C-alpha cells in the first residue's frame, strides 16, 4: 500500500475517492482495551439469581485474562508484538466485546424475559466460550516470552472455557415452573401463595419495588416487541405479577401523608394530570392519536371508533348529528401533547398501532385475563376487611391503578363488588384515601356496566356530590365532576342526575370558584345535563346560565352550555341576564372556532325563540354586522351556516323596522350592513 500512490490518495479527478481504513492501533493501544475489558467483566453483577452460575464463570475467566493481559502490557510496552500474536489478540478483543454486549443486554432486560430466553442466551455464551478457548490455544505464547505462571493462567482459562457446562437443572426447572403457573391460571386455578412466593424469590422479585420494576420492564418490552416468540407469555406474566404484588407485597408504599394540596396531587409518583384539552371527552384519558370529527370536536381515535362502531352517528360532546363519519388527524394537537409528555416525563407511545395490537393481545390472552380477574377479586376482598384508613388506602390505590386501563380490568373490579365498598370512602377525612376512592370510581365509570353499578349503589350520587363541595383537594373535586360527566353519557342517568338539585348546584359552584381544569370538567358535565330538555328548568334555576356567561371568555365550553340551554327552553332566562347578548357577540368575534360556532348558534336560537326582544338586543351591539360578515368569510362550515342564519334574521328585522318606520312616518334606527349580509 505504501508503494502505491494511487491507492494512498484520493482520485485527482474529484468524481470519486478511495477511502482507506483507519490505521491499526499499536500493540499498546490494543492491550489496554483488552486489559480494561477483562477487568470490567471480572466485576460484572449478576442480573438475576438463576444466572449466578453463568455470570460467575464469566467473572472467573475474566479475572484470569486480566492477570495475563497485565503481564502482556509490560511486554507490549517494550516493543511490537509478534504479528501472529497481535492478530490473535485482536480477535480476543472482539470476543470480549461480545461478552460485554451480552452482559449489558441481560442487565437491561426484565428478569422474566431473561428466564424465558435463557436457552438462547446460554447457547450464545457457549459459542463465545468456545471461540475464546480456540483463540487462547492459538495464541503463540512461546513467541511472547511470557512467564510460566502466566502460561499456566492462560491454559487454565482455555480449559475453563472448554468446560462450559450447560444451564443448571434448577434454571430449567424454574422456567418450567413459571410456564406451569401461566397454564394453571389459564385453567382458572389460583396459585398457592407459598409456591408463588418461592418462584418469585428464585427469579429475584422479593419486594414491592422489584415487582413494580419488573412489571414496567415487561410492559416496555411488550410495547417494543422485544421478543415475538414469548410475547404471549410476557403478557400473561404482567397479569401474574400484578396479582403477586397485591397478594405477596400488599404493604405497597403509602402515598404522601402530607396534607398539602400539592403533595396529595403528586402522590405515588404518578404522572401529572394532563390539561383538559389533551384528554379525550369520551375516555377522559390522555389522547394518543387525536382526530377531528365533522362537528369540529377532537377525540382519541380509538374512543371515537368505538363510539361509531356502536351505531351512533352523533358528536358525543355536542349531540350534533354528524354530516359524515370521517376522521381527520389533529396533527397540531398531537405535537402539543407529545411536547407536554416530554416535558413532564410521561410515556407517549411512538406507535399507536403497536399499542392497539398490544391491547388486543392482552384481550386474547386467557392467562392475563384470569390473572387480572384474580387480582380484582383479591383486592375487593381485602378492601372489605380493611378497617384502618391506612390499610384501605393501600388497597384502593391498587384498585385505582388496576382500573386505570383496559375495559376487562374495569369489568373484573366492578363484578367483584368494588363500587359499594368505595362509596363510603368518599366521606373519608384522609385526603389521599378520598382522592384514590373518587378516582377509582371515575376509572370504573368509563365502562357502561359499571355506570349502572354506581348509579344503583346506595348513596353513590350523593357521595360524589359531597366530594364536589367538600373534597379535600381540587383534584378530588375535579375527578368527581368528571365522574358525573361520565355517568351522564347514559340517557336515563342524565335525567336522574339533572333532577338531583345537589349535583347541579355543586357543579355550578365548581364553575364559579374552581381552577381552570376543574371549571372545564364541571362545564362539560353541565353541557351533558343540558342535553335533556326536562333538565333545563332546574339548570336555569340553579344559575347555570349566569355561571356560563361569567366563564364565556375563558372556557369555550361555556358558549356550548348557553346554546344547549337556549335550544331547550332556557332562551328567556339568558336574554334577561344583563349583558348576555353582548357577551355572546364578543365571543362570536374573539373566541375559539368551537366557541364562535356555539356563540353564534346561541344567538340564532335566542332570536328564533324570543323574536323581536332578542333581535333588538343583538342589533344594538356595536359591530355585530361586521362580526357576522367576518364569520361568514373565515369561520368553520358550521359557523358560516349559523352566521348566515343570524344575518338573515337581522336583515328581516332591519327590513321590518324600515317598513314600520315608513308606515309610521318615523325614521328607523340606522345600521351599517356589510355587502355579504345584504345579499339575499
Residue 466 lies in a domain: yes
Same domain (yes/no): 519, 403: yes
Place of cell 342589533: 619
How far are the Cα atoms of 20, 254, 296, 632 from residue 637, in angstroms, in the given order? 64, 52, 9, 9
- Expressed in percent and rounded to 5, the helix, strand and coil fractions of the chain are 70, 0, 30
Can you tell me the mean pLDDT for 205-213?
88
Whether residue 621 sits in one domain with residue 486: no
Q: What are phi and psi of 25, to 5 degrees?
A: -65, 155
In tens, the pLDDT along 389-401 reads: 888 998 999 999 8
Number of domains in the chain: 5
CA dihedral 293, 296, 300, 303 (to 10 degrees): -50
Range with the poorest average pLDDT among 177-181, 248-252, 461-465 = 248-252
Rounded Cα distance between 438 and 422, Å, is: 8
C-alpha distances (whole Å) from 24 to each of 28, 30, 79, 97 are: 11, 9, 15, 17
Residue with cell 416487541: 225
329 pairs with which residues across the strands? 291
Average pLDDT estimate for 201-206: 91
State the average pLDDT over residues 278-303: 83
| Of the residues 217, 247, 277, the one at which a domain ends | 247
What is the model's pLDDT at position 663?
Answer: 59
620 Cβ contact list (under 8 Å, min separation 6): none
Alpha-helical (H) ranges within 386-515 are 389-402, 407-415, 418-422, 431-445, 448-456, 460-470, 474-487, 491-499, 501-513
Band of the pLDDT at 422, cuts 50, 70, 90?
Answer: very high
Same domain, residue pair 156 and 173:
no
89 within a domain of the structure (yes/no): yes
Residue 303 maps to which CATH number?
3.30.40.10
263 found inside a domain: no
The count of residues in the chain is: 680
279 forms beta bridges with: 286
**Does any domain span residue 278?**
no
Cross-strand bridge partners of residue 260: none
**Quick one: DSSP state of residue 279?**
B
147 and 48, same structural domain?
yes
256 inside domain: no
Selected residue with higher pLDDT from 257 and 270: 270
C-alpha 278/C-alpha 262 separation (Å) is 21
Structural domain boundaries enclosing 295: 288-339
Taking Cα atoms as reference points, which of 5, 168, 143 lies closest to residue 76?
A: 143
Question: Rounded to whole angstroms, what are the CA distances from 485 to 449, 464, 525?
Answer: 16, 12, 4
Stretch 54-65: mean pLDDT: 90
- 314 φ, ψ (degrees, to nearest 5): -110, 165
**Residue 137: pLDDT over 80:** yes
Same domain for 389 and 537, yes or no, is yes
Tell me the Ramachandran region of residue 274: left when phi exceeds 0, alpha when psi lies from -120 to 50, beta otherwise.
beta
667 in any annotated domain: no
For residue 28, the model assigns a pLDDT of 58
Which conformational region is residue 569 in: left (phi greater than 0), alpha (psi within -120 to 50 degrees), or beta?
A: left
Do residues 435 and 457 both lie within one domain?
yes
pLDDT at site 27 = 57
Q: What is the pLDDT of residue 11?
A: 41
Give the C-alpha separation, 11 to 13, whole Å: 5
Which of 160, 193, 223 is the last residue before a domain boundary?
160
**Mean pLDDT, residues 527-555:** 92
Angle (CA) 574-576-582 rounded to 5° is: 70
pLDDT digits (tens, 9 = 90+) for 2-36: 344 344 444 433 443 333 344 455 555 788 888 89
Torsion of CA 291, 297, 302, 306, to 10 degrees: -140
- Is there a single domain that holds both residue 459 and residue 596? no
Q: What are phi and psi of 184, to 5 degrees?
A: -65, -40
**Is the separation of the CB atoms in 378 and 250 below 8 Å?**
no
- If asked whether residues 393 and 519 sit together in one domain, one would say yes
The model's confidence at residue 348, banded by pLDDT at 50, 70 and 90, is low
Please provide the average confidence, as pLDDT, over all residues in the chain.
Answer: 82
Task: Report which DSSP code applies to 328.
Answer: E
Q: State pLDDT tens for residues 120-136.
A: 888 898 899 999 999 98
pLDDT at residue 674 tops 70: no
Could you tell me if residue 666 is inside a domain? no
Q: pLDDT value at position 226?
A: 83
Taking alpha carbons only, the member of 108, 3, 97, 115 closest to residue 50 is 115
Q: Is 225 left (phi over 0), alpha (psi -120 to 50) or beta?
A: left
Q: Are residues 417 and 494 in the same domain?
A: yes
Burial code of 151-164, b = ≥16 C-beta within 10 A, e = fewer? eebbeebbebbeeb
pLDDT above 90 (res 416): yes
Q: Look at 443 and 76; give whichever has higher pLDDT.
A: 443
- Of 218-227, 357-366, 561-570, least confident by mean pLDDT is 357-366
At residue 597's C-alpha, the angle toward residues 556 and 510, to 5°, is 25
The arithmetic mean of pLDDT across residues 355-381, rounded, is: 72
Beta carbons within 8 Å of 366's beta carbon, 6+ residues apart:
186
- Say yes or no to pLDDT of 522 above 90: yes
Residues 153 and 89 in one domain: yes
Residue 274 lies in a domain: no
What CA–CA distance (Å, rounded) separates 536 from 407?
33
Nearest to 525 by CA among 562, 499, 566, 497: 497
Residue 41 corresponds to which cell in the numbers above?
467483566
**Residues whose CB is less than 8 angstroms from the CB of residue 374 and which lie 6 or more positions away in sequence, other chains included:** 185, 190, 243
Is the confidence at residue 289, as pLDDT, over 90?
no
pLDDT top residue among 49 and 80: 49
Tell me the C-alpha distance between 214 and 385, whole Å. 29
Can you give the pTM of this predicted structure?
Answer: 0.70
180-204 average pLDDT score: 88
Residue 627 contacts residue 585 (beta carbons within 8 Å): yes
Choose the final residue of a domain: 339, 360, 377. Answer: 339
What does residue 296 show for φ and ψ, rounded to 5 degrees?
Answer: 95, -5
pLDDT at 255: 42
Pairing of strands 328-329, 290-292: antiparallel
- pLDDT of 386: 78
Confidence of residue 50 (pLDDT cuts 50, 70, 90): confident
> Is the predicted pLDDT of residue 509 greater than 60, yes or no?
yes
| Residue 527 shares a structural domain with residue 390 | yes
Are 535 and 496 contacting, i.e. CB atoms less than 8 angstroms apart? no
44 and 149 housed in the same domain: yes
Interval 81-115: pLDDT, tens: 788 888 888 899 999 999 999 999 998 899 999 99
Give the pLDDT confidence score for residue 676 in this predicted structure: 43
Segment 588-625, tens digit of pLDDT: 988 888 889 999 999 999 999 998 899 999 999 998 88
In three-state secondary structure terms, 501 is: helix
Amino acid at each position: 500500500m505504501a508503494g502505491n500512490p494511487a491507492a494512498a490518495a484520493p482520485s485527482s479527478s474529484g468524481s470519486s475517492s478511495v477511502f482507506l481504513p483507519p490505521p491499526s492501533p499499536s500493540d499498546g493501544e490494543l492491550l489496554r482495551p483488552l486489559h480494561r475489558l477483562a477487568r470490567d467483566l471480572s466485576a460484572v453483577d449478576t442480573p438475576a439469581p438463576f444466572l449466578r452460575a453463568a455470570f460467575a464463570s464469566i467473572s472467573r475467566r475474566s479475572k484470569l485474562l486480566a492477570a495475563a493481559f497485565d503481564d502482556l502490557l509490560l511486554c507490549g510496552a517494550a516493543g511490537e508484538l509478534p504479528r501472529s500474536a497481535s492478530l490473535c489478540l485482536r480477535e480476543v478483543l472482539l470476543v470480549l466485546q461480545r461478552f460485554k454486549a451480552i452482559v449489558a443486554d441481560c442487565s437491561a432486560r426484565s428478569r422474566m424475559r431473561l428466564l424465558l430466553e435463557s436457552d438462547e442466551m446460554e447457547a450464545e455464551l457457549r459459542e463465545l466460550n468456545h471461540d475464546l478457548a480456540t483463540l487462547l490455544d492459538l495464541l503463540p505464547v512461546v513467541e511472547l516470552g511470557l512467564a510460566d505462571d502466566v502460561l499456566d493462567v492462560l491454559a487454565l482459562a482455555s480449559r475453563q472455557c472448554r468446560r462450559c457446562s450447560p444451564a443448571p437443572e434448577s434454571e430449567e426447572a424454574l422456567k418450567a415452573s413459571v410456564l406451569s403457573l401461566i397454564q394453571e391460571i389459564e385453567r382458572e386455578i389460583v396459585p398457592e401463595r407459598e409456591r408463588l412466593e418461592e418462584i418469585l424469590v428464585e427469579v429475584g422479585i422479593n419486594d414491592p419495588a422489584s415487582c413494580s420494576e419488573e412489571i414496567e420492564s415487561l410492559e416496555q418490552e411488550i410495547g417494543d416487541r422485544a421478543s415475538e416468540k414469548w410475547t404471549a407469555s410476557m403478557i400473561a406474566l404482567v397479569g401474574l405479577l400484578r396479582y403477586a404484588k397485591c397478594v405477596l407485597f400488599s404493604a405497597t408504599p403509602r402515598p404522601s401523608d402530607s396534607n398539602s394540596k400539592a403533595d396529595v396531587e403528586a402522590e405515588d409518583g404518578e404522572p401529572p394530570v394532563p390539561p383538559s384539552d389533551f384528554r379525550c371527552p369520551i375516555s377522559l384519558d390522555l389522547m394518543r392519536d387525536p382526530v377531528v370529527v365533522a362537528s369540529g370536536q377532537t377525540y382519541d381515535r380509538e374512543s371515537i371508533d368505538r363510539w361509531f362502531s356502536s351505531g351512533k352517528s352523533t358528536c358525543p360532546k355536542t349531540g350534533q348529528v354528524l354530516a359524515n363519519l370521517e376522521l381527520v388527524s389533529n396533527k397540531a394537537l398531537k405535537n402539543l401533547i407529545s411536547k407536554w409528555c416530554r416535558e413532564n416525563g410521561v410515556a407517549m407511545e411512538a406507535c399507536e398501532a403497536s399499542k392497539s395490537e398490544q391491547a388486543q393481545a392482552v384481550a386474547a390472552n386467557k392467562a392475563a385475563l384470569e390473572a387480572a380477574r384474580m387480582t380484582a377479586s383479591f383486592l375487593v376482598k381485602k378492601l372489605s376487611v380493611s378497617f384502618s384508613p391506612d390499610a384501605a388506602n393501600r388497597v384502593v390505590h391498587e384498585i385505582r391503578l388496576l382500573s386505570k386501563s383496559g375495559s376487562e380490568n374495569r369489568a373484573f373490579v366492578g363484578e367483584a363488588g368494588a363500587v359499594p365498598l368505595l362509596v363510603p370512602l368518599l366521606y373519608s377525612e384522609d385526603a389521599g384515601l378520598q382522592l384514590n376512592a373518587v378516582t377509582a370510581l371515575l376509572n370504573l365509570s368509563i365502562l357502561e356496566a359499571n355506570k349502572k353499578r354506581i348509579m344503583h349503589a346506595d348513596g353513590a350520587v350523593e357521595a360524589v356530590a359531597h366530594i364536589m363541595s367538600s373534597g379535600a383537594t381540587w383534584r378530588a373535586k375535579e375527578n368527581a365532576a368528571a365522574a358525573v360527566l361520565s355517568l351522564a353519557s347514559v340517557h336515563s342517568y342524565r335525567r336522574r342526575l339533572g333532577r338531583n338539585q345537589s349535583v347541579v348546584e355543586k357543579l355550578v359552584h365548581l364553575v364559579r370558584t374552581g381552577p381552570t381544569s376543574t371549571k372545564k370538567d364541571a362545564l362539560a358535565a353541565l353541557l351533558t345535563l343540558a342535553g335533556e330538555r326536562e333538565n333545563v328548568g332546574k339548570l336555569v334555576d340553579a344559575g347555570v346560565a349566569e355561571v356560563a356567561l361569567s366563564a364565556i371568555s375563558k372556557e369555550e365550553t361555556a358558549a356550548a352550555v348557553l346554546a344547549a340551554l337556549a335550544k331547550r327552553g332556557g332562551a328567556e332566562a339568558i336574554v334577561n341576564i344583563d349583558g348576555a347578548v353582548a357577551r355572546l357577540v364578543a365571543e362570536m368575534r374573539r373566541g375559539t372556532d368551537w366557541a364562535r360556532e356555539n356563540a353564534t348558534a346561541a344567538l340564532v336560537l335566542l332570536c328564533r325563540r324570543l323574536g323581536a326582544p332578542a333581535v333588538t338586543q343583538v342589533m344594538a351591539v356595536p359591530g355585530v354586522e361586521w362580526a357576522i360578515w367576518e364569520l361568514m368569510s373565515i369561520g368553520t362550515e358550521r359557523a358560516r351556516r349559523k352566521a348566515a342564519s343570524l344575518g338573515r334574521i337581522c336583515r328581516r328585522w332591519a327590513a321590518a323596522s324600515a317598513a314600520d318606520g315608513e308606515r309610521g312616518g318615523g325614521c328607523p334606527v340606522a345600521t351599517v350592513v356589510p355587502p355579504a349580509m345584504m345579499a339575499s
